[in-house]
Amino acid sequence: YERSLLRDAHTTGVLALEQQLYSMDTYKRHRSNLNSWKHYCHVTGALPFPPTQADINGFVVYALVTRTPRLDPSSVQLSRGALSGWYIQLNAVLPYAQASVPLHLINVASSPETRALTKTIQDKYKLPGQPKQLMSVETLVDVLCRGFSAP
């Protein structure tokens, strides 16, 4: 019953609140990161919301080891941030859920354990940067003749 109440609160208020709090680009990025989280939950059979500490730890291992192609640690960090934002927004909406007892969720996505884990993966598993392609002479001449506006 409690989980269905939380899902109802999520669907009725959190998305509308998120659209008001963030720019459209931030909203799209959060949605993309939450979709990678939901995909992990679908693969493992875990319930997507509310996540537990074990679920978040499993997502990190999945994203860096099991998933093909593996995610960069910065993407894992952004997913953790999106989950943390979900907690913050849900806790803002829960007082309006009309539950018989006051509801409040502890934000495990921002716990010291999760923060230490994401810092460790940033340090140890960062993918090497992609070298930039040099601009060809033809492209340079074209840009200088045309200007910097798109064709």
Q: How confident is the model at residue 74 (pLDDT cuts 50, 70, 90)?
A: confident
- Rounded to whole angstroms, how far apart are CA atoms 12 and 97? 9
pTM for this one? 0.64
Of the candidates 92, 88, 84, the residue with the CA atom closest to the CA atom of residue 112: 84
41, exposed or middle or buried, with CB in 10 Å at 0-12, 13-18, 19+?
Answer: middle
Q: What does the pLDDT look like over 113-143, one tens digit per residue? A: 998 998 898 888 877 777 778 888 888 888 8
